[in-house]
Homo-oligomer: A and B are copies of this chain.
C-alpha cells in the first residue's frame, strides 16, 4: 500500500483508528512512518504519535518533521503526551522545539517536564475539567460544555475555590439531577481521593484501581489543583510495572526494551549473568572441596545436577508467588511469618515426594539404599531451603524498602546450588565413604 499515491493512502488509512495506525507503525520503516504522519489529518497524526509504543521512538518522528508541521502537531496533542514524547529528546533539542510553540503551551509543557516520569506529576495532564464552587448549576453546565471542546473526556469534575484550591469533586450526573437554583458548592463531595505530584505512579495505579476511579486529581502541597490522571494512563502504568517485575525476577534489567536490539539486550543482561557466574564459582568451590568423595562415588555427579536443578525450580516457584503477592498488597508481620512457614511446609512435602522417587531409582537402578537415603535427605533439605529463601528474601527486601523483584532467580538459585551441593556431598562423605 505504501507505493500508492498519497490520496489513496489517506483514503485507506481513514478506515483505521489512530491507535490501529500506531500499531501498524511497528511493522513499518521509519521513512514510511514519517511519510504517513505528514499526510494524515493533523488531529489523527497527533493521536497516532501519542499512541505509538515508546519502543518505536515517536520522538524521532517529531524530531524529523518540519518546524511548522511539528508545532501544529504538538499543539494538537494532550499536554501530558506532548511532554512525555518531548522528554525523550536531548535537552538542547527540547528547548528548540519548545521555542517554536506558542508561549503558553511551551510553559505548560516545560512545567510538566520538571516532574519525574515515574510520579503522578509525570503522568498527569494539566488540562483538567474544573469549575468554581460558586457557580450555579446553569453556569457550571455552560462552563463544562465550553471546556469539553478542549478536553476529550470528562469523567469527574473538579471543584476549586477562587485560589485554585481543590475543594472536592462533583459528577456530571449530580449536576444534571440537581434543582435549578443549586450552587455547585452544595453538590461537592469533599470526601474524595487525590494524589500529590510526587506520589509514585505505582501508588497512583493502586488507588485508582482500588477505588474504581476514572480519574484522580493531582495537587501540590497547598492543595492547588495541578492536573489529573486518567484510567487509561494508569492501565499503561500497570502493564509497564508488570513487565518490569517479570523481567527483574528473571534477571533482566527492568529498562530493557522488549523489542530492543541485541546490543541493548546484552547491556541489560550481561551484568546479571556475570553476577551469576560469581555465585557459580561459589557453588563450584563446594564441589571442588568434595572432589575426593566424587572421585570415589562418580555416580554422585548425575544426582548433583538433579538436586541443583530441582532446588532452583522450587525456589523460582516460591519466589514468583511471593513477589507477585507482595507486589499487589503489603503483608502484616504475621502474614509474612505464615508465608515463610507455608513455603517451609511446601518445600518439605515436595522435597520428600521427589526425594522418594529418586530414592527408589537409587535403590532399584544403583542398588544402593544408603545412597538413596542420602539423596532423599539432600532433596528434601534443598527444597526446604528453596522455599524459605524464595519467600523470605523478597519479604525482607520489601521491609527494608528494596524492590522485592530484585531477588531474582539468579540470587535465589545461588542458595539452592550451594546448599544442595553441601547437603548431598557432605552427607555422602559422612555416610557412604
Bitwise, A314-354 to B at CB < 8 A (1) or not (0) is 10110111011100110010010000001101100110011
Which of B153, B249, B310 has a CB less than 8 Å from the CB of A277?
B310
Q: List 13 A-B contacts (CB under 8 A).
A: A209-B232, A250-B316, A251-B317, A259-B325, A265-B343, A277-B306, A280-B305, A283-B305, A283-B306, A284-B303, A287-B301, A305-B308, A316-B316
Does A235 sit within 8 A of B, measured CB to CB?
yes
Q: Which residues of B contact A335 (CB under 8 A)?
A: 27, 259
Question: Contact between A345 and B273 (Cβ–Cβ < 8 Å)?
Answer: no
Given the complex of chains A and B, what is the CA–CA distance between A314 and B265 in angstroms?
Answer: 11
Looking across the interface, which residue of chain B has its beta carbon closest to that of A312? B312
Does A101 sit within 8 A of B, measured CB to CB?
no
Q: Max chain B CB contacts within 10 Å: which of A250, A274, A343?
A: A250
Question: Contact between B209 and A252 (Cβ–Cβ < 8 Å)?
Answer: no
Does A295 sit within 8 A of B, measured CB to CB?
yes
Given the complex of chains A and B, what is the CA–CA distance between A389 and B145 in angstroms?
Answer: 57
Bitwise, A344-376 to B at CB < 8 A (1) or not (0) is 011001100110011001000000000000000
Q: Which residues of B contact A328 (CB under 8 A)?
A: 239, 243, 258
Looking across the interface, which residue of chain B has its beta carbon closest to that of A420? B305
Question: Contact between A354 and B273 (Cβ–Cβ < 8 Å)?
Answer: yes
Does A245 sit within 8 A of B, measured CB to CB?
yes
Q: A259-B325, A350-B273 are in contact. Are A250 and B317 (CB under 8 A)?
A: yes
Does A211 sit within 8 A of B, measured CB to CB?
yes
Closest 10 CB pairs of A and B: A250-B320, A284-B302, A212-B232, A258-B325, A262-B345, A287-B302, A242-B242, A280-B306, A265-B346, A262-B342
Instruction: Report how many copies the assembly holds.
Output: 2
Q: Which residues of B contact A266 (CB under 8 A)?
A: 346, 349-350
Given the complex of chains A and B, what is the CA–CA distance between A305 and B286 in angstroms?
Answer: 11
Looking across the interface, which residue of chain B has its beta carbon closest to that of A247? B320
Question: Contact between B319 and A250 (Cβ–Cβ < 8 Å)?
Answer: yes
Given the complex of chains A and B, what is the CA–CA distance between A304 and B417 in angstroms?
Answer: 12
Does A35 sit within 8 A of B, measured CB to CB?
no
Question: Contact between A155 and B155 (Cβ–Cβ < 8 Å)?
Answer: yes
Q: Which residues of B contact A287 (CB under 8 A)?
A: 301-302, 305
Q: Which residues of B contact A303 (CB under 8 A)?
A: 284
Question: Contact between A246 and B313 (Cβ–Cβ < 8 Å)?
Answer: no
Q: Which residues of B contact A256 (CB under 8 A)?
A: 321
Given the complex of chains A and B, what is the CA–CA distance between A303 and B294 in angstroms?
Answer: 14
Which of B145, B312, B332 has a CB less than 8 Å from the CB of A27?
B332
Given the complex of chains A and B, what is the CA–CA distance between A137 and B135 in angstroms?
Answer: 24
Question: Contact between A294 and B301 (Cβ–Cβ < 8 Å)?
Answer: yes
Identify 8 new A-B residue pairs, CB closer than 8 A, beyond the known A17-B211, A19-B211, A212-B232.
A235-B235, A249-B320, A250-B321, A266-B350, A270-B350, A291-B298, A295-B298, A308-B309
CB neighbors of B among A215-263 (8 A): 231-232, 234-236, 238-239, 242-243, 245-247, 249-252, 256, 258-259, 261-262
Given the complex of chains A and B, what is the CA–CA distance between A324 and B55 in angstroms?
Answer: 14
A426 to chain B, nearest CB (A): 15
Question: Contact between B324 and A243 (Cβ–Cβ < 8 Å)?
Answer: yes
Q: Which residues of B contact A294 (CB under 8 A)?
A: 294, 298, 301
Does A23 sit within 8 A of B, measured CB to CB?
yes
Segment touching B, from A87-95, A114-122, A172-180: A172-180
Q: Max chain B CB contacts within 10 Å: which of A26, A154, A176?
A: A176
Q: Which residues of B contact A125 (CB under 8 A)?
A: none
